[in-house]
Structure 1
């Protein structure tokens, strides 16, 4: 595994490596990942580190887990970070915050 990324914890290096494999097509949607112990050995990390990386990838939508079956590459992977439109997302968040602020003000006036 790539050890030269300064500032990344071991689980983050595993996360980035698996993401890279998914983007490159080495891991395709629906592919089953090896078991936790095999992943830990592959990336030369502790079992808990591999498990944490898998949890992060599941939380981010890259992987799905089926109990007693395995962990699989999701059919729809999240958009690349560089494809994320930050200004549009910020504008949407500002709009939502303004709307929520107005609703709170209305509720406070009623009480």
Structure 2
């Protein structure tokens, strides 16, 4: 993910600003995101750009669509204030495996 706004597409900039609102708890778990039109107005972008930003947030796990009701902040979070993805879980499992291997080596070294 790009972090420099100058290198980001407009929809990525909007998505990043919404992510920050989520991590800062301006937008809370389960809360409805503003409409595409409201986002477009707030961030001075086209409605299509706002739609693309929301689709990106859904893809990344930050938001969950609920049919015609709207899109809501995802309730699947870790303690760090970020959505938990399959990739993140796989990385955590790998880290825990490494730690377990290290502990087993220490225990076996003592026996």
TM-score, with structure 2 as normaliser: 0.66
Q: C-alpha offsets along residues 30-86 of structure 1, whole Å, 9 cap, x if unaligned?
A: 11111111111111111110000000100111001111111100001325xxx8859
Measured in 1, the distance between the counterparts of 2:6 and 2:68 equals 36
Aligned length: 84
How far the C-alpha of 1:16 sits from its partner, in A, is 0.6
In the TM superposition, structure 1's runs of 4+ consecutive aligned residues that sit over 3 Å from their partners are 83-86
Measured in 2, the distance between the counterparts of 1:34 and 1:6 equals 25
2:26 paired with 1:26: yes
How far the C-alpha of 1:19 sits from its partner, in A, is 0.6
How far the C-alpha of 1:5 sits from its partner, in A, is 2.0
2:52 paired with 1:36: no
Give the SS at the match of 1:34: coil
Q: Which residue of 2 aligns with 1:70?
A: 70
Q: Which residue of 1 aligns with 2:57?
A: 57
TM-score, with structure 1 as normaliser: 0.66
How far the C-alpha of 1:7 sits from its partner, in A, is 0.5
Give the root-mean-square deviation of aligned CA atoms: 2.5
Q: C-alpha offsets along residues 80-102 of structure 1, whole Å, 9 cap, x if unaligned?
A: xxx8859x47x9xxxxxxxxxxx
Measured in 2, the distance between the counterparts of 1:64 and 1:38 equals 18
Q: Which residue of 1 aligns with 2:7?
A: 7
